[in-house]
Amino acid sequence: MDIEPALLPLLRILVNDAGGEGRLLRMSPDEDRAELLRKQLALAGCKREALFADDALRVRPVPE
């Protein structure tokens, strides 16, 4: 992925400090991302009903 050139020295330091192991960025499992996003939207004050609906007509998808 493209990054700003000024970030490269920092990334090198982070990778070196980690011993070249692990990840610099931790992502949640795919199946958890939608729920985590809804929580963040609620914390941000988003009140769009369709995002939070869980009734007979609008059931949230169940992760496979």
**Residue 44's pLDDT is what?**
93
Provide the number of structural domains found in the chain.
1
Q: Which domain holds residue 41?
A: 28-64
Asked whether residue 20 is domain-assigned, the answer is: no
Q: What are phi and psi of 37, to 5 degrees?
A: -65, -40
Q: Is residue 3 part of a domain?
A: no
C-alpha span between 52 and 10 (Å, rounded): 39
pLDDT digits (tens, 9 = 90+) for 40-50: 898 999 988 88
Is residue 21 one of the residues assigned to a domain?
no
* 9 in a structural domain: no
How many other CB atoms are there within 10 angstroms of residue 15's CB atom? Answer: 14
pLDDT under 70: residue ranges of the chain: 1, 22-25, 59-64
Q: Would residue 14 count as lying in a domain?
A: no
pLDDT for 45 equals 92
| 60 domain residue, yes or no | yes
Identify the pLDDT of residue 11. Answer: 85
Question: Is 63 contained in some domain?
Answer: yes
